[in-house]
Structure formats: structure tokens, C-alpha cells
Amino acid sequence: MNKTLPAKRLRLLMVEDDETRVAIIRNWLPPDVHLVWAQSAGSALGILARDGQGIYAGVLLDHDLFMRPRAEDDKHHCGTDIVDLMLEELDRDAAILVHSMNPGAAADMVRRLGSAGFAVTRIPMKEMTKMAFTDWLSEVRQDWEA
């Protein structure tokens, strides 16, 4: 009797301090995608350090993360710190969607992640549409299932 292994569940990490943005993305997700929400830079750093490689098919990344500090250190961390850890801990197969509204910081994150071999898409949140997000997610799914 042949047993097939169950498919790995598609998991995304969203690093975002604005609950409204998270709600928008959650509304666009199909039911088979699991979203892990890091509300602060410190939370994201902890999640990435704990989960390591091979867990996330994609990461949605903001830069300015000061609305929901969970610890004193959160006031001093931002998306740049998360990129530093991603370069050390995250599998290069994970797709990155930089949705930050900070144009200079977002460009720097895209450059650094792209130079390290990540597939990076840049869509500022104010320009994000359901279609653009769904297209990105479709590419993430294809890569994850390959």
C-alpha cells in the first residue's frame, strides 16, 4: 500500500504593527493558508529565531514598526533588524513581499534581500490590491509546492 505524505501547509509570516493592514491581508487569504502575525519587530525576531528555516513559504515585511511595542527593545528595532536576522535564519526559498510605506528603507530592504538570493516583490501597502496580493501568493504557492 502506497502512502502519500500530506502536503506541507503554506505558512506566511506577516511583520506588521497596523491591525487594519493585517485584517486586509487576512480577508484575502484562502482558507488553506496559515498567517502568523508578528505585531512588533521584537516579536518577528523571536519568531524567526525560534522557527528557523523551512517553515515559511513567504514573509510580508513592513519597516516602521513602532505602533505596537511589546518590549522596551521594540522601540529601537525596525524592519532593517528583521532583514539582518532573515539573512542568517531564513531559507532562501521563502518569497518576500515588502509592503512598507517608507520608500528609502523599503528600497534598502529589497536590495539587501535580493542580493542575498531571496525572491523579493515590492508593493507599498497603499498600492496593494487583492489582485496584486493574489498574484504574489500564487507564485509563492507554486514555489512552495515545487
Residue 26 has pLDDT above 50, yes or no: yes
Place of cell 502519500: 4
Phi/psi at 11 (nearest 5 deg)?
-120, 135
- The residues facing 35 across adjacent strands are 12
Residue 3 has pLDDT above 50, yes or no: no
Is the pLDDT higher at 23 or at 85? 23
Q: What is the mean pLDDT of the chain?
A: 88
* DSSP per residue, 95-134: EEEE--S-HHHHHHHHHHHHHTT--EEE--GGG--HHHHH
